[in-house]
Amino acid sequence: MGTSAIIFDLDGTLLDTLQDVADAANASLETCGFPARPIHDYPDLIGGGVRHLFRKALPKDAGEADIDTCVAAFREIYAEHWNDSTAPYPGIPELIALLRERGLKMAVLSNKPHEFTVRCVAAHFPEGTFDLVAGEGPETPAKPDPTGALGIAERFGCEPAAMAFLGDSDIDMHTAVRSGMRPFGAGWGFRSKEELFRCGAIAVVDHPRELPPLLERGEGEE
């Protein structure tokens, strides 16, 4: 196989978390005295981490203290409602099972806070599905910083060039490029194909079943 390991983004790639994140974020905004945002705004707000979400969702004259207040409210609300409607995208369980069968090492790297990343993965995938699960935290700076991805490569004993990165946003594509990994876009996620290609995707797949053949033939390798 042309690929020895793969890193998956979480929100918008493995799991459809849009409704739960948007509901918790809007409840947080209203709790803190700010207007809620329409659901169709959230695909562009999700992906950069919680602080990034509120920095974009709040009015332009909001300050860092407002962001802090909203983040704190979100952590409390999302902790109770993170799994109300979240579910894997169609075809994801089958993709994961196939790649596991073929011997790929697999990791999840998310800008969701680490504790929520672990909870989401544990709730929707059997124990041991992934060799490593990492969310944003003190030891894992938010993507597109390549530290987390390169740390996974080191843990796996893999050359970055032999690894694929599947994500649904510009942030994921930039992370893969900066890490020297092959960027694949999840066309079912939160962002457009045009954005994914513009930010470095070597291919964008419309359904998870389209990915394995690309990995087998080393799509994007020199």
Active site residues: 9
End-to-end CA distance of the chain: 15
Specify which residues 136 forms β-bridges with: 113
Cβ atoms < 10 Å from Cβ of 138: 6
- Report in angstroms the alpha-carbon separations of 184 from 96, 98, 135, 177, 204: 15, 17, 20, 10, 6
| 2 close to 221: Cβ distance less than 8 angstroms | yes
Taking only Cα atoms into account, the Rg of the chain, rounded to an integer number of angstroms, comes to 17
